[in-house]
Chain A
């Protein structure tokens, strides 16, 4: 879609230019024909993607909405039930609990990822020895699949035989700490694992932003005798506003989709303490086999994410302007 829009925009820009330069009418027509042709080529190349996109993305999204208005076990007759599923979730405690869990994770993960991502980027951007090594070391975890990442952390955090508790034991901590068995520690564990896993990517985004900042500004600041802190606060940070906006939006959307980390590390436990909304949707859809209700909850998550992203965009982009 984006490519097509750009095509049209190019056309407009071209014709806008033409108005100023006053090209003869004939030539313009030829140009337009050529544009149409390239448009057709673009469509031809886009067609395979569009077909799959419509088939596997748009159609299920629309179908999901209609499913959310029905009731019935999976694979059996479906009955139209209007907004019943949406009414039901208003009084569904498990829904509210998992919605809160998801929002809670967004609230704790987004700021930490922005801050630590920036710190890592500043470290590798500093002209020190070994930054190339550090850069790849920081980025490496991002290349792991989520199951590998989770297995590593379960191995580290598990009680009695876990790596972390073994080290703590050597240091004289005699009490067995249940990193994944206690509500608060479980969230911290999930957060730390997520940070370790995704920081590399955010670091790269910040790094790109940092390298875009013109050296001259720092030189000017040096001449004025600005401290390192003042340079950071008045040059680096304001220049990174665009990247920060991007990271915040990307990260909060990703955090809303939280599923794999708790599913593989805690199973949503202890109790329901770390069960995010996506896991609840999965359980409704594929364990309780209630696709109607699962779709309704999915649409609510979609709505919450859309509103959240819109608010963020408004706030952050306005500030920038």
Chain B
């Protein structure tokens, strides 16, 4: 009798353990056809703050616009997003649709886990010609479309109209009056500095994150003999142009126009403690929340030969799967997102769908139309599976340069050496 009890107890414990262990994976793979004939799609995004709200709004609107497809959005923390996506791709637990940055595609495409969209796009009559050329080109690998660009988000210039007007630096269109070139920009900053109240910086972009690298990349791309970052798996930025671009930034900090160790560049500008700020277009949605802030947004000034900037795109990708119906539904959703990306422009991004950018609806938005053509100026980053780790190396060394612990040439030499070591692995 007792023996049986023990046996029974053990069996129960074993059973419970297995149930617990299996329960987790059960919930994770919930995609598939729902009960009522609707297709359920899992959709992963890495959007915090305003971006996340606009995307949630789009998903809600899509879900209520039709009855056949139900999209379940999972908003993953930015820091963990690609870890989760890449591991999910490797273990066949990826969602039906997900966001991927253009700069991440050269890492994701070689894994073979993304679907070539050519065929499924045809099935839902997706019109590739609507997507702006610069953005589309950046997502083609071996003549195949692996992604639908949703937007482009580039580095642009934000300026506080009140401070610039006080310094007499605004023209009748409320744009900044300045001579072209580095000198023009710097002397404008100096003039501005003279009239600013105490505690307000003429220029402040964050210096302890990726901003110095982005700004350098934009300036470097503006030079005719610049813009090369990684070529044939080799670092190709440690040259006269690269040095000149970085020197501009170093000089700005040395002259006290750009403070050192800025850890909250967004807040400084948003709260009126900085007159000019270079950052990504996504800041528009953030800055306009402060109703007292009278600001303008424009493409970066031309410091050198041509109008170019750093930028990236959010693209939509379909992880590979066998279920054709599922993929087709996913592509329907992608098409809808692209066609309705004027909602997405609310977050500050420039839609990649040219029909949307030309629409009245977009042009009635505040701020966004004034920098919409920046999309053509983006010098997309080179294709390398090690692009992101390489960017981390650049960021780290440039930050050290910005806070004064490295010289311009030291930072470039060190970064070149580390990037080459990384790429040779």
Chain A residues with CB under 8 Å of chain B are 37, 40-41, 43-45, 47-48, 51-52, 55, 73-76, 94, 154, 158-161, 176, 178, 180-183, 267-272, 283, 286-290, 293
Contacts and interface: CB of A to CB of B under 8 A. Distances in A.
26 contacts: A41-B9, A44-B10, A47-B10, A47-B13, A48-B13, A48-B20, A51-B17, A52-B17, A74-B86, A76-B111, A154-B263, A158-B264, A159-B260, A161-B267, A176-B260, A268-B396, A269-B208, A269-B400, A270-B405, A271-B396, A271-B405, A287-B388, A287-B389, A288-B386, A288-B389, A289-B385
B110 A76 contact: yes
B186 interface: no
Given A40-B6, A76-B110, A178 B403 contact: yes
Contacts of B208: 180-181, 267, 269
Interface string B1-39: 000001001100110110011000000000000000000
Contacts of A176: 260-261
Given A269-B399, A288-B422, 19 more contacts: A47-B14, A47-B17, A51-B17, A52-B17, A74-B86, A74-B87, A75-B89, A75-B111, A76-B111, A154-B263, A181-B260, A181-B261, A181-B403, A182-B405, A271-B400, A283-B389, A288-B389, A289-B385, A293-B425
A37 B5 CA distance: 12
A160 B268 contact: yes
Interface residues of B, number: 44
B262 interface: yes
A41 B6 contact: yes
A154 B263 CA distance: 10
A257 to B, nearest CB: 19
User: At the interface, is chain B mostly helix, strand, loop or mixed?
Assistant: helix
Contacts of B406: 271
Contacts of B268: 160
A48 B6 contact: no
Given A183-B405, A269-B208, A287 B13 contact: no
Contacts of A180: 208, 263
B9 to A, nearest CB: 6
Contacts of B83: 286
Interface string B183-198: 0000000000000000
Contact of A160 (B112, B259, B418): B259
A176 B201 CA distance: 14
Contact of A269 (B13, B89, B90, B396): B396
B392 A287 contact: yes
B221 interface: no
A45 B13 contact: yes
Nearest to A266: B208
List the 9 closest A-B pairs by CB distance, nearest first.
A75-B90, A271-B400, A44-B10, A181-B261, A48-B17, A178-B261, A288-B389, A159-B261, A181-B403
Contacts of B9: 41, 44
Contacts of B264: 158, 160-161
B170 interface: no
Nearest to A47: B13
B113 interface: yes
Interface of B: 6, 9-10, 13-14, 16-17, 20-21, 83, 86-87, 89-90, 107, 110-113, 208, 259-264, 267-268, 385-386, 388-389, 392, 396-397, 399-400, 403, 405-406, 418, 421-422, 425
Contacts of A269: 208, 396, 399-400
Given A47-B17, A74-B86, A75-B90, A271 B261 contact: no
A97 to B, nearest CB: 11
A131 B391 CA distance: 52
A73 B385 contact: yes
Contacts of B422: 288
Nearest to B108: A75
Contacts of A286: 83
A73 B107 CA distance: 10
Given A73-B385, A160-B268, A288-B422, A270 B392 contact: no
Contacts of B405: 182-183, 270-271
A270 B10 contact: no
A175 to B, nearest CB: 12
Nearest to B12: A44
A271 B111 contact: no
Nearest to B411: A271
A160 B204 CA distance: 12
A290 B107 CA distance: 12
Contacts of A288: 386, 389, 422, 425
A55 B399 CA distance: 42
Contacts of A73: 110-111, 385
Contacts of A40: 6, 10
Contacts of A94: 418, 421
A169 to B, nearest CB: 11
Contact of B113 (A55, A75, A271, A290): A75
Contacts of A178: 260-261, 403
Contacts of B90: 74-75
B403 A270 contact: yes
A161 B386 CA distance: 36
B379 to A, nearest CB: 23
Nearest to A159: B261
A34 B42 CA distance: 55
A37 B6 contact: yes
B14 to A, nearest CB: 7
B262 A160 contact: yes
B261 A75 contact: no
Nearest to B386: A288
A74 B385 CA distance: 12
Contacts of A76: 110-112
Contacts of A51: 17, 21
A289 B13 contact: no
Nearest to B391: A287
A297 to B, nearest CB: 13
Contacts of A287: 388-389, 392
Q: Which one of A52, A269, A270, A288 has the highest number of Cβ atoms from chain B below 10 Å of its Cβ?
A: A270
Contact of A159 (B263, B385, B425): B263
A295 B355 CA distance: 49
Nearest to A41: B6
Nearest to B80: A286
